[in-house]
Amino acid sequence: MGGHGAAVKQQLRSQATSSIRNDAATTAKPMLTPGTQLVREWNGRIYRVLVTDDGFEMDGQTYRSLSAIAKRITGAGWSGPRFFGLSTAK
């Protein structure tokens, strides 16, 4: 009744670590489906972005990425997902 051997313990640790990394990777990127609306307030103005099949739409104009929209809004090279609160990276 001495418990598991060193090799079994190492394998269990490895699988647990791999599982945690996989869970983090799948939850880190939210899936944006067409019809989703993103809302962001910036400098006193509310911006609404609609997710479409072709990309993103704001103010009647289509964009290929959220980063392009974030740059249009701020004038700086923001990460679009981070600007809209979809990324937790710091």
d(CA 71, CA 48): 15
Q: Please name every residue paired with 62 in a beta bridge, in sequence order, or none if there are none.
A: 57
Tens digits of per-residue pLDDT, 47-79? 999 999 999 999 999 999 999 999 999 999 989
pTM over cut 0.85: no
Q: Give Cβ neighbours of residue 57 (< 8 Å, ≥ 6 apart).
A: 49, 50, 63
Identify the weakest region by mean pLDDT among 5-9, 22-26, 71-75: 22-26
pLDDT of residue 40: 95
d(CA 67, CA 79): 5
CB-based contact 38:51 (threshold 8 Å): yes
CB-based contact 80:88 (threshold 8 Å): no
